[in-house]
Structure 1
Amino acid sequence: MRARRFLGLCLVLAAAGAASAMAATPDGFAIDKGWRFRLVPGNAQAASHPEAAPWHTAAVPGTVHTDLFANRVIPDPYVGAPEAGLQWIGLADWEYRTRFDAPRGALSAARSDLVLDGLDTFAEVWLNGVKLLDADNAFRTWRLPVQGRLRARGNDLRIVLHSPIAKLLPQVEAMPHKLLGNYPSPYGDEPKDAMTANFARKPGYHYGWDWGPRYVTAGIWKPVVLQSWDAVRIDDLQLRQDHVDAARADIAAIASLDAVRDGAAELRLWQTTPGGRRSLAARQRVALHAGANRIDLPVHVDRPQRWYPNGYGAQPLYRYELEVRAEHGKGAGKAAIARAGARTGLRSIELRRDPDDRGRSFYFAVNGIPVFAKGANTIPFDMFQPRVSKARLRRVLQSAADANMNFLRSWGGGYYESEDFFDLADELGLLVWQDFMFGGGMPPAYDEAFRANVVAEARDNVRRLRNHPSLALWCGNNEEEIAWKYWGAGKEMKAAAPSLADKVWKGYVQLFGADLRKVVAEEGGGIAYWASSPGDDLAEVANTPASGDMHYWEVWGNPAYPPSKYLEITPRFMSEYGLQAWPVQATIDAFARRAEQGIAAPVIEAHQKFLAGKGNERLMKYVDYEFGATQDFAGFVYLSQAAQAEGIELAALHHRASRPFTMGSLYWQLNDVWPGASWSSVDWFGRWKALHFHARRFYAPVALAALRDAGGKTTVSLLNDRTRPLRGELRLRLMSLDGQVLRDERRPVELAPLSSTRAGDYLDADLLGGADPARTVAVFELRAEGEPASRGVVYFRAAKEMAWPDPGLQAQLRRDDAGYALELHAARFARAVWIDVDGADADAGLSDNALTLLPNESVSLRLSSKAGLEALRGALRLRSLADMPSFTKTR
């Protein structure tokens, strides 16, 4: 399916939702009908883009780019290479407008508020000709009183969105010494030495990143809702978990109420257990005062069903519903005058920083269990957030859970993740590290108004997300501390303008060391705060293996060491590391015709965002390290995935083998923002790369790590994330590539709970004897009771130096009662086997892929597809390393 058709489908679905009448929601009435938009008359962009000047239909929630595409004013932003020609959109001002009738009761209600959760970013809000707001933050909730301003019919709501570049550029250009930005624009829409992104409270990735395009969009990206009430509005229901253990959970249900007038009320809190039993958990009579009220309702749960991360137990969820009933006057003794609900899982969670002789630990304990964090970083799921459906989130997050992940880091250059994201994380047992929205570039935190704006944004989002049991950490920013300390920005400013440098750093410390820490302490319900990633919570030294969390980019980034360098870096918690790869062929076909595909082809380069168009050169370097160079594009795509999968597997297994010193491994990155080359393991369509199939194996709760370093020493470790001890068998076989077994040894092993156990060290000479290293492999296998077998293959030469035989791959596909069964057999050693049904079904699902098969080994796989048997058989393609023309083969 072409991306053009896919994007069009998303817009059709969005338009269908927007076509409904002003819809009632639990929180009020969504104003989602009749929206139109245009380029603001007189704007500098109007002369060169008159096609955007007339009124066009719009979707709210939505963005300017998706609205322009829906009206065929611009081409699909993802197909081909249109990016340079669309930069004018971010320089223009846009006007959105609708008319609506006031819902029944709104005119006579004591209070009515217009609630706007997502205005991106510099926005004027006008109602019936009166300006209500000048917004300046895409991440805040704006609540505007409108009682007395509403008409029965034909209310005119108008929102003008100003270009963040045009608005901020004059003040940035006027600065004699500029704050370092992140990615300069290659398109001339703003000067490279005067970047504006770090001055705007909007998603940083809109300005371009090394995995996505530059589309500085604007829009009303969350619903617009009218809320009306006569007596009480429940502003928030917090479920603060003060103590949770196996015997008892003590919860403070904290109700924040906005009362119209003084009066008596009764609060009833209902609890629904994970099994569906509903009971009254708390009841209290209160005297409300006009305005804000805070009432604590203590709740005690005996023998709670506790929530656990994926792999450690179940994810039971409790539902709480708050009712406010009037005690006197209108509504007394009748139905509730206000209701609100919240869901949570009962667990204890803490970030542990225990000192030792090498520094301090960094790990999370859930219900007292030290959890080794296995997972990845998430970036935004689309360039245009309103298009991110819960179904798309579910596909990717389910893929994370299916790959045995238990932890995701939501990166700070996008947006605070949605309730849908966190609801799914709660259900799947995925702990979430949530950055505040600072992804790169030093912010003007010395400005008090800027800091106050950020604090308000932080309160909104901490309050919104704090009931989720998956929320594990709030982090101030991504990489801003190390950028200042080690990447030259701080040093250069100290030399050029020492007083300004001191002011910038003090503002940074105030915002990330004090202001945001205070917000999390006051509002977060006990969740830990961390100042910056990577860091040591504002210690003098950051990004050190001894303490705190670490990002490691000397593999892939400069100086571009080979993946074996991963074995030399042993951190407390690795929160970023990564290798790039292209997505599967079907995804590439969605944005580039086959005739447009080539390693240096313009459309392919347009979807390769690393190093200003030189990403494929870097990627080829990593392909060449292990596999040798190729000029064939399909082969390049295949080898890029193999290099990514094997390199990240090496690092992740090293981290796991270093337990308990190392307690986390989060590779960069899980998902994609658009279809293109990136560090993801799941692409924009939700299709798995080879890395994700590998991740399911190297993140298995019980696994084997056989790690050979650059000096020819192999260390074997047995990994057990279970909370119980295990017994099993470790097997070592030395075999030739054509199947001759030269050595076969077995021994019983015991695995302690929550541990890594060193099982042996082997020099190449110990393993090989006199065997030819180019034709021989060592195969280690762990079989533990009740667990899938885990295998590690040790190669004694780079793949490009191996004498690969024709593996004699054979596949049989048949239909059965459950769908399709695929039987795969290798006569000889087959490395990096990739199975595809190119052309039959782009979204056909395989139960496993990216396989290594031993000589005479067979595997049984499941294939899910809507295509017919004969079509699938005709499209079935198998590939292994032996198929690459650069390798020497034995036949």
Structure 2
Amino acid sequence: MDLPRSSLRRYFHKACLALIAASSSLIMAAPVTGATTRVQNLSGSWSFRLPHSDPAAASYAKATEWHTAQVPGHVHTDLLAHQLIADPYVGDAEAALQWIGNATWEYRLQFDLDENIQQARHQDLVFEGIDTFADIYLNGKKIATTDNAFRRWVLPAKSLLKKRQNELRLILHSPIQRLLPQVQAMPFKLAGNYPSPFGDEPRDAMTGNFARKPGYHYGWDWGPRYVSAGIWRAVKIVSYDEVFLQDFHIQQDRLNSQRAELQAKLELQADQETQIDLDLRILDPDGKQILSKNVQTQLGKGHNQLALPLYIDQPRRWYPHGMGEQALYSVRLSIRKGKKIITETTKRTGLRQVELAREKDQWGQAFGFVINGVPVFAKGANVIPFDMFPNRVKPGQIRAILQSAKEANMNMLRLWGGGYYESDAFYDMADELGLMLWQDFMFGGGVVPAYDPKFRENVIAEAREQILRLRSHPSIVLWCGNNEQETAWKDWGIGQKLTEANPIFAAHVWAGYQTLFGKDLREQVTRLGAGVPYWSSSPGNDLADRANDSNNGDKHYWDVWAGSQAIESYLSETPRFMSEFGLQAWPVQSTVDAFAPRSEQSSDSPLIRAHQKFLAGDGNQRLLHYIRANYPEPKTFADFIYLSQLMQAEGIELAALHHRSSKPRTMGSLYWQLNDVWPGASWSGIDYFGHWKALHFHARRFFAPLAVAALHDKGITRISAVSDLLQDQALEWRLRIMDVDGKVLRDERLPLTLTANSAIELAQISDAELPPASKADTTFIVAELIRDGNSIARSIAYLQASKQLALPDPLLEATIVAEADHYRLHLHATKLARAIWLDFGEHQHSLSDNALTLLPGESISLRLDSAQNLTTLRDSLRIRHLAQLQAIPAATSH
């Protein structure tokens, strides 16, 4: 055995092998497949129907016929594939499709057993995910009922399986109809989330918070209501003989820059006492083998736990994007009995330490992440599901969104609790890209029946499975109990209202909440979560008296948008960690065209309103409220799209730069939201089809590792510099006061040593201190960071609302030229060109930048990629900028 001296000083020895006594209980961790552990995939020729006995059968007779089905899949997508329903995303189809969620659905599969597993001692039928309430029949015998879409179901099936003509059948029950009787029977109801606007469920008896099912299926303020059902993840038969590997992970005991002390931990099930050989190899992040070791050990009958110590010198640690490399080690395990391979698997993981900083200081109690001993300012956004129907989400779509997050200099994403636990591919990509993940457990809001022991037991089993599945991913840095349930109880009047109605029941409900989120989930994360911290609710202070406190814990701030406060209010809110804030906008024109014809595109159109899901008020009127506060009145719907995106981008930029400038008091800025679940108006920076809104282009600039913030409020412009880099930076900073025609009223350059991982205020300039020639409607302030004579960061502060600025025609000149494998778009502005948006209509394209402002006399060269020819691109180029709208009179329709 050869061990490279530079990488591995010690290896594990037989004498260090820990063999822990067995029990007969099975752990539902993801099985590992290999030579004698064999898998038969059951994604084959499924079919589905609406049973004739269902009340909907009379109205939807065609759905009662057997049709082919896709598994994994969903009943909505199966119906759509056979043109039995309209496209759920086009027009205003939503209301007419609510019957689907109230119906029962039947799925069946006929299959033969693969020859290579017919003689196996154990044959388990495994469902990776069923949505949600199902009766499962195998060859006519009911073998299980399910009640949790987030759990994995492993069903021993050897006694029922045949070599030929097996039939697997599932009856999927409506979650609404299954739960509604018990909810309606409650004398005091639990508050839900969003009542159905379609009458398919009583507004005072919402069932969604009683179901362990994706909450967003019941509708949210950014997505439709499609209470789907289906076999949404893989189905397979897993067979094995006398030994089965149930779980394998690498536990990190101690880690620093000099040494990693680890354990390879295995859990195996054995039918009888037997001897096995373990072959383990470790590959470093470059794929170089640094260990090869064989250990022989004896297994007892039943459940066996093995711990194999190992040590790595000078380990390469995993860091978030922007802090260091995303080093990932691979550990290959082979288990043999004699010459027969029982199973083989590879586990990939990163070596990193994570801490949640909670020190008390002059502002209150901190909330921030420390990775490998280094405090990290978290920059990013909240992630919602990528589609209403998860089976339609392909790895390439996930990769594009996560890569876009990295390109926007994000280092953290919060996986919101109203969706579902993402696919393995998602977490693998986050590991590779260096995106820290804040992982909510799947509770999106409302009040859940945590006082019910059976409900808690179901959730604990779900949590255990998911933690075991995901604990090897270095990207996961926090497990959070729920989204907004504590603040809803304490701050929104939900707890008070129930207490006034029935104090005994209210106390019972709150005690159940504390047990589930304060104790049960915390225990699972502490015991199984590989050192990742737990947080009981967001926003919160881990069950302290106040739930949404600016000085303690994490903060959700919705006074802007939901509370109609001015965007400038962001500058008065300085939290410890901002985990939610946001502004809405419409997606790009081509995305709107995908669901509504141009003739129907107005803010009051039924089709447009059907894709505007802000139901706490009129969403388009709320958008207009914020547009009108700062920008000209939109005359057309195209103007409405442009101005909504500009308002969103500049508003979120204002907040994010304030958060970053407030480091270390504030240590995180995660806006709502990164992506979309369908095409429509929302808070996202990337729309359903993956197009970047103006916000995402801005995010790439305001989340840059080195940034400058010029923030004007109440007659004062505060200028700050921010660095997330881990080395001091020798720079210059430049201050210019200019007018829109290009006249420079003041121009100063000063040396700046920007300390590593810090924020510093550079100047405060009151409007009264501006040069005498300054005019509020034409003057603006430009702050820049300069390195080696080049501007690397810029921020512009205006003295008045944009609608009050006297913006001239910038006299933009645009040329497109062909280069080797792409095009180049050159832009020049003679005068200030505020908020440029470049578009090529229906033609697919990619621009290296957009949503930008050019100073008077400034030029920029952008890379343009497109399959179109040069003539088409030149003819289709459309340039918007704010001055085009300044002279447009108010319109009565948008």
TM category, shorter: over 0.9
| Structure 1 residue identity aligned to 2:830 | A
Matched, 1:599 2:596: no
Matches of 1:192 and 1:54, distance apart in 2: 33
Matches of 2:220 and 2:119, distance apart in 1: 50
**Equivalent of 1:122 in 130, 133, 136:** 133
Structure 1 segment 636-647 matched on structure 2, within 5 A:
636-647=640-651
Residues 465-502 of structure 1, C-alpha deviations (whole Å, 9 max, x = no match)? 00001000000000000000111110011000000000
Matches of 2:458 and 2:300, distance apart in 1: 28
CA RMSD of aligned residues (A): 1.6
Q: Which residue of 2 aligns with 1:329?
A: none
Unaligned 5+ runs, structure 2: 1-33
Matches of 1:280 and 1:745, distance apart in 2: 58
Matches of 2:58 and 2:247, distance apart in 1: 48
Asked whether the equivalents of residues 35 and 341 of structure 2 are also in contact (C-alpha less than 8 Å), the reply is no
Q: Which residue of 2 aligns with 1:368?
A: 373
Structure 1 segment 86-485 matched on structure 2, within 5 A:
86-280=97-291, 282-326=293-337, 332=338, 334-485=339-490
Matched, 1:676 2:647: no
Matches of 2:469 and 2:790, distance apart in 1: 39
**Residues 694 and 218 of structure 1: CA distance in aligned 2, closer, same or farther (over 3 Å):** same
**Aligned-pair CA distance for 1:786:** 10
Asked whether the equivalents of residues 633 and 888 of structure 2 are also in contact (C-alpha less than 8 Å), the reply is no
Decide which moves more: 782-791 or 195-204: 782-791
Q: Which residue of 2 aligns with 1:59?
A: 70
Matches of 1:128 and 1:786, distance apart in 2: 76
Give the alignment's TM-score, normalised by structure 1. Answer: 0.95
Q: What SS does the aligned partner of 1:454 have?
A: helix
Structure with the bigger RCO (C-alpha within 8 Å, sep 6+) is 2
Residues 339-396 of structure 1, C-alpha deviations (whole Å, 9 max, x = no match)? 2221011111111111113321111111111100000000000000011111000000
Matches of 2:688 and 2:481, distance apart in 1: 27
| Structure 1 residue identity aligned to 2:345 | A
Asked whether the equivalents of residues 605 and 613 of structure 1 are also in contact (C-alpha less than 8 Å), the reply is no
Matches of 1:188 and 1:751, distance apart in 2: 59
Asked whether the equivalents of residues 784 and 791 of structure 2 are also in contact (C-alpha less than 8 Å), the reply is no
**Equivalent of 2:497 in 487, 492, 498:** 492
| Structure 1 residue identity aligned to 2:735 | L
**Aligned-pair CA distance for 1:887:** 5.8
**Aligned-pair CA distance for 1:885:** 4.9
Asked whether the equivalents of residues 363 and 665 of structure 2 are also in contact (C-alpha less than 8 Å), the reply is no
Matches of 1:827 and 1:885, distance apart in 2: 18
Structure 1 segment 544-693 matched on structure 2, within 5 A:
544-558=549-563, 560-611=564-615, 614-693=618-697
Q: Which residue of 2 aligns with 1:780?
A: 783
Q: What SS does the aligned partner of 2:421 have?
A: coil
Matches of 1:98 and 1:443, distance apart in 2: 35
Q: What SS does the aligned partner of 2:507 have?
A: helix
| Structure 1 residue identity aligned to 2:802 | A
Decide which moves more: 736-745 or 375-384: 736-745
Q: Which residue of 1 aligns with 2:852?
A: 851
**Aligned-pair CA distance for 1:283:** 3.8
Matches of 1:386 and 1:236, distance apart in 2: 26
Matches of 1:674 and 1:223, distance apart in 2: 24
**Aligned-pair CA distance for 1:257:** 1.2
| Structure 2 residue identity aligned to 1:296 | A
| Structure 2 residue identity aligned to 1:696 | R
Q: Which residue of 2 aligns with 1:867?
A: 868
Structure 1 segment 502-521 matched on structure 2, within 5 A:
502-521=507-526
Unaligned 5+ runs, structure 1: 1-22, 327-331
| Structure 2 residue identity aligned to 1:390 | P
Decide which moves more: 403-412 or 278-287: 278-287
**Residues 282 and 487 of structure 1: CA distance in aligned 2, closer, same or farther (over 3 Å):** farther
**Aligned-pair CA distance for 1:661:** 0.7
**Equivalent of 2:58 in 47, 63, 67:** 47
Residues 707-761 of structure 1, C-alpha deviations (whole Å, 9 max, x = no match)? 111x111111110110000111111111111111111111111100000011011
Matched, 1:835 2:838: yes
**Equivalent of 1:29 in 34, 40, 58:** 40
**Residues 786 and 162 of structure 1: CA distance in aligned 2, closer, same or farther (over 3 Å):** farther
Matches of 2:414 and 2:38, distance apart in 1: 30
Matches of 2:532 and 2:789, distance apart in 1: 35
**Residues 432 and 701 of structure 1: CA distance in aligned 2, closer, same or farther (over 3 Å):** same
Asked whether the equivalents of residues 746 and 771 of structure 2 are also in contact (C-alpha less than 8 Å), the reply is no
**Aligned-pair CA distance for 1:784:** 3.4
Q: Which residue of 1 aligns with 2:795?
A: 792
**Equivalent of 2:774 in 771, 774, 791:** 771
Asked whether the equivalents of residues 234 and 340 of structure 1 are also in contact (C-alpha less than 8 Å), the reply is no
| Structure 2 residue identity aligned to 1:285 | Q
Asked whether the equivalents of residues 811 and 824 of structure 1 are also in contact (C-alpha less than 8 Å), the reply is yes
Q: Which residue of 2 aligns with 1:4?
A: none
Asked whether the equivalents of residues 27 and 227 of structure 1 are also in contact (C-alpha less than 8 Å), the reply is yes
**Residues 294 and 785 of structure 1: CA distance in aligned 2, closer, same or farther (over 3 Å):** farther
Q: Which residue of 2 aligns with 1:524?
A: 529
**Aligned-pair CA distance for 1:325:** 1.4
Q: Which residue of 1 aligns with 2:11?
A: none
Asked whether the equivalents of residues 243 and 251 of structure 1 are also in contact (C-alpha less than 8 Å), the reply is yes
Q: What SS does the aligned partner of 1:874 have?
A: helix
Asked whether the equivalents of residues 255 and 295 of structure 1 are also in contact (C-alpha less than 8 Å), the reply is yes
| Structure 2 residue identity aligned to 1:805 | P
Residues 579-615 of structure 1, C-alpha deviations (whole Å, 9 max, x = no match)? 0000100111111111111111111110000026710
| Structure 1 residue identity aligned to 2:766 | L
**Aligned-pair CA distance for 1:291:** 2.6
Matched, 1:821 2:824: yes
Asked whether the equivalents of residues 373 and 407 of structure 1 are also in contact (C-alpha less than 8 Å), the reply is yes
Matches of 2:504 and 2:764, distance apart in 1: 55
Asked whether the equivalents of residues 268 and 280 of structure 1 are also in contact (C-alpha less than 8 Å), the reply is no
Q: Which residue of 2 aligns with 1:7?
A: none
**Aligned-pair CA distance for 1:26:** 8.4
Asked whether the equivalents of residues 272 and 319 of structure 1 are also in contact (C-alpha less than 8 Å), the reply is yes
Asked whether the equivalents of residues 265 and 308 of structure 2 are also in contact (C-alpha less than 8 Å), the reply is yes
Residues 303-340 of structure 1, C-alpha deviations (whole Å, 9 max, x = no match)? 111111000111121111111111xxxxx1x1421122
Asked whether the equivalents of residues 493 and 501 of structure 1 are also in contact (C-alpha less than 8 Å), the reply is yes
**Residues 721 and 784 of structure 1: CA distance in aligned 2, closer, same or farther (over 3 Å):** farther
Decide which moves more: 401-410 or 299-308: 299-308
Q: For this pair of structures, how many residues does the alignment match?
A: 857
Matches of 1:170 and 1:211, distance apart in 2: 29
Decide which moves more: 230-239 or 309-318: 230-239
Asked whether the equivalents of residues 282 and 297 of structure 1 are also in contact (C-alpha less than 8 Å), the reply is no
Q: What SS does the aligned partner of 1:46 have?
A: helix
Q: Which residue of 1 aligns with 2:812?
A: 809
| Structure 2 residue identity aligned to 1:148 | S
Give identity over the alignment, percent.
54
Matches of 1:91 and 1:509, distance apart in 2: 33
Q: Which residue of 2 aligns with 1:762?
A: 765
Q: Which residue of 2 aligns with 1:884?
A: 885
Q: What SS does the aligned partner of 1:706 have?
A: strand
| Structure 2 residue identity aligned to 1:290 | K
**Aligned-pair CA distance for 1:886:** 4.4
Asked whether the equivalents of residues 777 and 804 of structure 2 are also in contact (C-alpha less than 8 Å), the reply is yes
